Each structure stands twice: as C-alpha cells, then as structure tokens.
Amino acid sequence: MLELRDVGKTYRGARAVEALRGIALAVGPGAFVALQGPSGCGKTTLLLVAGGLLAPDAGRVTWDGEDVYARSPDARARLRAAAVGFVFQQFHLVPYLTARENVLAPVLAAPLPDAGARADALLSRFGLADRAGHVPAALSTGERQRTALARALLRRPRLVLADEPTGNLDAASAAVVLDALAEFAREGGAVLLVTHDAAVAGRASRVIRMAGGRLLEGAAGA
C-alpha cells in the first residue's frame, strides 16, 4: 500500500537540519506499525511525507506502486481525502464547529452518501452521542481526541496516520483511542503511529525505533 524508498528531508534555515535520512519503510493492509523515538528524531516529518503533505528532498513515496509526489497537488489532495485519515496530538478541530460538524468536515473535500449516519455511528461508538452538539471548547481533552479520531475514520480510509494521538490523554481515554486503532487494523486497515511512549508503542503489532532521522531496526517489511 504505502512504501518509502530511501527518503530524505532536510529543513534549511540558519543551519540545515537533516530530519529524515535514507528512510525505507513499507506498510500494508492490516498492519499496525508504531514508530517510537524521542522528540525531534523526525517522526512527525516522516508522517507528513508519508501522507502526501510534505515533499521529500530525496527518494520516493509510493501508494499502490505510484509515486505520490509525481501527482499534482490536487491529485494528492484527492488521494488523502479518499484513503488517508490523520489523527494529531493537537486535534486540529475547527473551534466554531460542533463535534458532529467536525466529524463531517471531510465530506467538504468529497461527498459521502451515508456521511450523516456514519458520523452519528462513530460518535456513539466513542461515547460522544450526547456531546455531538458541543463545540471543542466545551469538550474534555479526551472527548476532543475521540472526535478527531471519528473524523479520521469517517470516510473509511485505507490508512490512518497518527501523530502522538495519546500524548495529551489520561489512561482511560488513551485506551479508547488505541483500542479503536487496533480494531481498524484487524479489520484490514493500516495504521502508522508515532510515539515516544514505549507503552503506547507496545499496542502495535510491529515497533520500529527511530533516532536522528533514521529507522534503526525492523523497517523493511510491512
């Protein structure tokens, strides 16, 4: 499904920062892969590159064998809308929309016939049915992350990219998020999660350590 081949990325400013160095990684259907490493090791950059949001300086990112960055920006956006769900530590919810409206936000990029029913089912699944009409400021931290996860799953993506999705959560809320990601993988979806937390990484079926912009072990297969 997703493959990164010898991918490099350097941020250039007052001094160059080599964020990714020769990354080789494949993620296929049913995989739940955790990248574990300290802050600043390149984990978030890797997710952005993998998700078609940040072009690498070297190497190739392919989806079903096709070079993601050979596509036009519009074509990459369509791919993300159709097949990729993002879950971020800071949630990125629209502050003036209700929880339900935030979950439905992906349909602005492409219609989904059963969007309303799907949103309601996800909100109920994550214990948010009675919070659907509340804006993010009226939700707890755990409720906001569960709303963000419901949004990521709305379009039945093939791949979920999760950036420290439990970093701001208590143990109970973190368990809900990780259980949902594990279930998504068991049902044939793919999950690529980044974390600095060994306990969170331990919920994945495969753990890859990352440091200094490099994958240190176990990166080749899906």
Residue 15 tokens read as: 């001094």
Q: What is the pTM of this model?
A: 0.90
- Residues 6+ positions from 156 with CB-CB distance below 8 Å: none
| CATH architecture type of domain 2-215 | 3-Layer(aba) Sandwich (3.40)
Cβ density class 56-89: b for 16+ within 10 Å, e for less: beebebbbeeeebeeeeeeebeebbbebbbbbbb
Structure tokens at 166: 């439990």
| Per-residue pLDDT, 220 | 45
pLDDT at position 32 over 50: yes
**CB of 99 closer than 8 Å to CB of 132:** yes
Rg over CA atoms, the chain: 17
Cα–Cα dist 195/17, whole Å: 21
User: How many Å apart are CA 159 and CA 83, to the nearest integer?
Assistant: 6
Residue 147 pLDDT > 60? yes
Q: Residue 14 has what pLDDT?
A: 84
How many angstroms separate the CA atoms of 111 and 122, rounded?
A: 17
Chain centroid to CA 132? 23
Of the chain, the percentage scoring pLDDT greater than 90 comes to 77
